[in-house]
Amino acid sequence: MRDVDSMSEYSLEEISEIVGGILTKLEDVKISRLGPPLLADENTLALALNEDEIENLSKTKAKAALVPIGVTSELISTIEAERPRLAMMKLLHLFYMPPDSTIGIHPSATVHPTAKIGENVSIGPNVVISRNVSIGKNSKILANTYVGRSVQIGENCLFHPGCSIGDNAIIGNRVILQHSVSIAADGFSFVTENPNNVENAREEGKVKQDNTDQKIYKIPSVGSVVIEDDVEIGANTCIDKGTIENTVIGEQTKIDNLVQIGHNCKIGKGCMIVSQVGIAGSCKIGDRVVIAGQVGMADHIEIGSDSIIMAKAGITRSFPEKSILIGAPAVPRKEFIKQLKTMKKAEELIAKFKEYEHLLKD
């Protein structure tokens, strides 16, 4: 097979080989792009991965389509894939255009003389590299990014424009930071001279009103952040450094946009954390945990490996491995369904009560 990196067009045989698919060929065609069936032309490989898009193949102008196993067409060529979404990923890598970057240091960048820059590193416009920083080979630091003192960056990393990386952070190989990510800012950690309202509420179940002169003191963060290999972090996500130890993000973990991870947190390997999740300080998340959108977690919570937390759940206590959690406050899914059934029965009982209430009054 030809080197796919140097090509802009692909034969159906090449594409089928790349995705490990089953090709049913009706005609010879060159593919130069991907798209949904209704927007495809003769040189587009139509992506028909679900029932709606499969139905649209009857209306497409495409000459070929990627489809699930068992789907065929008498009108166009098909490449059947056992895992169509995985096949789509492989194809998108063929057509993906990486961000513009030039090997070397842009004239407007500021790089401290003590920084160690590896081979083939790109440092873009207005980037600031502080003292004692080390950057591994082939990494790309794009425009307007700040890298603090003694930060270690591995090989083949890609930092999109506007990222801010605080002092002493350790970032592994092949890490991707999307636009305006914040790594190793100070944690949100404060203390008062006397017990505050939150402490009183936890201990006594009520809020006292005698804290009008209370002063709030900042607790400095002397730890940092460790990001292991193959992590991707979405735009505008913030990961705070630890108070006296490091916040850690395990290898292969993927974090969406607009996520907040507090100080001292330990996130395991292969986790998926979706947009607008907020994880308070000192939480421990196991491996391969999925946290859906807008989940909120209180501090000092532990979630076991292979758990799934459904969207908008409010996590107020720890749960063991392989938990499926839903609701606010969150409970295991089976318990949540039981609660719903109980509420449904309660509605029926109330309806019956109202039906006979007049008899009780009489």
- Do 170 and 226 touch, CB atoms closer than 8 A? yes
- Beta-bridged to residue 65, according to DSSP, are 46, 78
- Do 235 and 178 touch, CB atoms closer than 8 A? yes
Q: Is the dihedral of CA 103, 107, 108, 113 positive or negative?
A: positive
Tokens 């794009």 correspond to 142
The SS3 assignment for 182 reads strand
Distance CA 163, CA 105 (A): 17
> Closest by alpha carbon to 285, among 237, 241, 318?
318
**Cβ burial 219-233 (10 Å sphere, 16+ → b, else e):** eebebbbbbbbbbbb
State the catalytic residue, choosing from 93, 160, 179, 263: 263
- Do 303 and 319 touch, CB atoms closer than 8 A? yes
Residue 93: both structure tokens together: 């890598």
Instruction: Based on the residue annotation, tell me whether 93 is a catalytic residue of this protein.
Output: no
Q: How far is C-alpha 247 from the geometric centre of its chain's CA atoms? A: 17
Distance CA 196, CA 213 (A): 11
Biggest alpha carbon distance in the chain? Answer: 93
Instruction: Report how far apart the first and last C-alpha atoms of the chain are (Å, whole number).
Output: 89
Running DSSP on this structure, what letter comes out for residue 242? P
User: Could you give the residue numbers annotated as active site?
Assistant: 263
